[in-house]
A and B are shown apart, each in its own frame.
Chain A
Amino acid sequence: MRRGTGDHEEFLRATLRHADLLHALAARLAVRPADVSDLVQETYLRAFAAWHSRRPDDVGAWLATICLNVGRDERRRHSRRDTALHDGPLPDIPDRADTAEAALERLGNSWVETALWTLPETQRIAITLMDVCGFTAAQVAAITGAPRGTVLARVHRGRKALALTIRGEPSRAATRGAGDEARR
């Protein structure tokens, strides 16, 4: 049995616009950076195989769910993930005197990526789905199968941990100072 050309064209029209978000999600799931594109492709192939039997209401969330499952399958195959995470040196932590903006400029994306990988997986996935992919809390709850309150807690704790990782663990005084400054 062969599927028609129209079928796969329709599939691509409906799904290709989500390639950026799937790539972002796959980048936080893949065992190795080189696996990211493979993970995205595998997601599309599984989605295409299922496209025949149904059309999802929310294509982006559906693709993200498949991507999470593909990522989990891959991880099971590469159980050495934990050690791979810490291959290579971590970037230097910026001086505490840096403002967050200056730190961001100096660090660039790679440090943020590294910091994201230091978070527990549930927090990393929740942050990626919400802050990077742009899903709502309700969508993230549906994608991950976690209650919405749990999703919000994971996102919030992950964001805090990310901020603290970038700044170094701030003292209470330092935090208070930053707060006072921001209030002015």
Chain B
Amino acid sequence: MKHDAEQLAAAYLTTMRRRGRRRYEAHLLACEPCWREVCLARRGRQLAESSRRAAPPGLRDDIRAAVAAAATAPADRPHARAPIAFAVALTLAMVAGAAMVAQPWRHGPPVPAAPAVLAAAVASYRDNRLPGTAVPGELAPDLTGLRLHLVGAATGQLDGMPVTTFTYMDATGARLAIYRSTRPFPEAAEAHVLGGEDSAWTMRSSGITVICARGTHTMLLLGSDAALVRQAGAVLHAT
């Protein structure tokens, strides 16, 4: 029987369900490569688990003291760099805007797009890569209320669909991406609708939460932190 011993053993020790486990355990008795994979991985897991240790006793007190000090200290100006980022975005928009033809933002005819565009958006977010290099002709949405500052902006294409992308980051390193298009994004088969007709919808893919804005469905919000994506959606009146 041809099979991937490594993949099967990895699944067996993590996510395989009961029925699959029973079948695989029967298979193990007759398959030396699989047996070896499982033995080694079990040993490795046991070794890794043996290195668990409690934090030093004083650590919690140190954390309490540090957080208490931060709580009573005057808060830093949130995102001192944000105004700079916006000034840059504004300048770029002014320069690009003069050269660009106005885009038919809400009135463009809906063109059927393959769901692959969603996969492309997820991959673009996951790989932290912009879908193009052209300067956007529009201003980035203001998300400073969520302590998010602009870290990237570009116009390009996702699976052939024209998009403008803005990426944000907060002080913890959490990222959020916004993709805007002149065309509606296709709804994923696994999407959950967040209301009635013309409502926003949401989906999860590879640990990334996607929200497609209500109405024209021409804006996507993506992020690993589901709560952050929801909050950004609320701020932008997308949900």
Interface residues in chain A, defined as those with a beta carbon under 8 Å from any beta carbon in chain B:
1-5, 7-8, 11-12, 16, 19-20, 22-24, 37, 40-41, 44-50, 52-57, 62, 65-66, 68-70, 72-73, 100, 104, 109, 112-113, 115-116, 127-128, 130-132, 137-138, 141-143, 145-148, 152-153, 155-164, 166-167, 175-176, 178-179, 182-183
A7–B72 alpha-carbon span in the complex (Å) = 11
Q: Report the minimum CB–CB distance from A115 to chain B (whole Å).
A: 7
Which one of B29, B48, B71, B173 contacts A48 once the chains associate, using CB atoms below 8 Å? Answer: B71
Which residues of chain B are within 8 angstroms of A100 by Cβ–Cβ distance?
43, 46
Number of residues from B at the complex interface, CB < 8 A: 64
Q: Report the minimum CB–CB distance from B190 to chain A (whole Å).
A: 15
Please determine whether A145 and B147 come into contact, CB atoms closer than 8 angstroms: no
9 additional A-B residue pairs with CB within 8 Å, beyond A141-B206, A159-B47: A40-B55, A45-B66, A50-B147, A53-B145, A109-B53, A157-B6, A160-B40, A179-B36, A182-B39
A95–B63 alpha-carbon span in the complex (Å) = 43
Interface residues in chain B, defined as those with a beta carbon under 8 Å from any beta carbon in chain A:
6-7, 9-11, 13-15, 29, 32, 35-37, 39-56, 59-60, 62-64, 66-68, 70-76, 126, 145-147, 170-174, 206-208, 224-228, 231
The dominant DSSP class at the A interface is: helix
Closest Cβ neighbor of A7 among chain B residues = B71
Closest Cβ neighbor of B123 among chain A residues = A147
Closest Cβ neighbor of A172 among chain B residues = B36
Q: A41-B62, A49-B70 are in contact. Are A164 and B40 (CB under 8 A)?
A: yes
A162–B48 alpha-carbon span in the complex (Å) = 8
List the 8 shortest-distance A-B pairs measured between CB atoms, nearest first. Answer: A159-B44, A69-B173, A156-B10, A8-B71, A142-B207, A23-B55, A131-B48, A163-B43
Closest Cβ neighbor of B170 among chain A residues = A50
The dominant DSSP class at the B interface is: helix
Q: Report the minimum CB–CB distance from B169 to chain A (whole Å).
A: 9
Which residues of chain B are within 8 angstroms of A167 by Cβ–Cβ distance?
43
Please determine whether B171 and A49 come into contact, CB atoms closer than 8 angstroms: yes
Closest Cβ neighbor of A37 among chain B residues = B59
Closest Cβ neighbor of B232 among chain A residues = A54
Q: A23-B56, A100-B43, A156-B41 are in contact. Are A176 and B67 (CB under 8 A)?
A: no
Q: A156-B10, A160-B44, A182-B39 are in contact. Are A148 and B49 (CB under 8 A)?
A: no
Which residues of chain B are within 8 angstroms of A12 by Cβ–Cβ distance?
63-64, 67
Which residues of chain A are within 8 angstroms of B172 by Cβ–Cβ distance?
46-47, 49-50, 62, 65-66, 69
Which residues of chain A are within 8 angstroms of B37 by Cβ–Cβ distance?
156, 160
12 CB contacts below 8 A, A to B, read A2-B73, A24-B52, A41-B62, A50-B171, A62-B172, A66-B173, A141-B207, A152-B10, A153-B6, A159-B47, A160-B37, A166-B43
A2–B41 alpha-carbon span in the complex (Å) = 50
Q: Report the minimum CB–CB distance from A44 to chain B (whole Å).
A: 5
Q: A19-B55, A54-B146, A161-B44 are in contact. Are A131 and B227 (CB under 8 A)?
A: no
Closest Cβ neighbor of A150 among chain B residues = B206
